[in-house]
Amino acid sequence: MVERMRRIGALDLLDRASRLVHSLQQAEGLRPAQWEALRYLGQANRYSRSPSAVTAFLHATRSPVSQVINTLVARGLVDREPNPRDKRGVYLKVTEKGRQVLQRDPLNRVSAAVYALEDQAREAIEFGLDNFLAELQRGRHHPTFGICDSCRHFRGGDAAGEAGGPHRCGLTHEPLSDDDSRLICVEQQSA
């Protein structure tokens, strides 16, 4: 019974934290899903800025995500551009106005609170939440959306001297810059 109460307590804390974060996100007149999409696009690499990648990241269906993207475009926070990898698709890019809004992101308060914790407490939370999310995603066949340079396809220094290098994606065989290597990728597979 005590163990069950501890689990309920942790779940209650997670739920309360989630509700607080959602209430903070009312800033700038954006809904939580719009903030999530904007944040994602601000951190996503060029392979991961399609409407379908946003849909997968938000674990949503196409229609509501399309509405989210349309709102972000209408507000001048995101632009649609032709996708250089798929002539039928579009590529989403955060505008300068969108980057300014991201600078005022209410989650910066949450980030400051996390980084105000002692290193050991912060690392325990990050480790625990990472494992928690991995367990929730297990068997759901959703992409994991990790950072490029932690992927099994990442080839550090493999494109040194090439335009767009110095790294390479082993999946697409395209050069990756240092900046690219630190972004979220829809194709990421843990090394």
18-66 pLDDT, tens per residue? Answer: 888 878 777 678 888 999 999 999 999 888 899 999 998 888 899 999 9
147-189 pLDDT per residue, tens: 888 888 888 888 888 888 899 888 888 888 888 888 878 877 7
Predicted local confidence at residue 96, as pLDDT: 98
Say which residue the tokens 């340079």 belong to: 149
Q: What is the mean pLDDT of the chain?
A: 84
* Range 96-101 average pLDDT: 96
pLDDT confidence band for 7 (50 / 70 / 90): low
Element (H, E) at 155: strand 154-155
* Range 92-108 average pLDDT: 93
Query: CATH 1.10.10.10 residue ranges in the chain?
Result: 2-105
Phi, psi of 144 (to 5 degrees): -90, -20
Note the CATH number of domain 2-105: 1.10.10.10
Predicted local confidence at residue 135, as pLDDT: 76
Phi, psi of 168 (to 5 degrees): -140, 145
Element (H, E) at 138: none
Report CA-CA distances (Å) from 19 to 40, 58, 67, 70, 87: 20, 17, 23, 25, 40
Phi, psi of 182 (to 5 degrees): -105, 10
- CB-count burial class (<10 Å; 0-12, 13-18, 19+) for 131: exposed
Predicted local confidence at residue 98, as pLDDT: 97
The pair of structure tokens assigned to 176 is: 């990756």
Predicted local confidence at residue 1, as pLDDT: 46
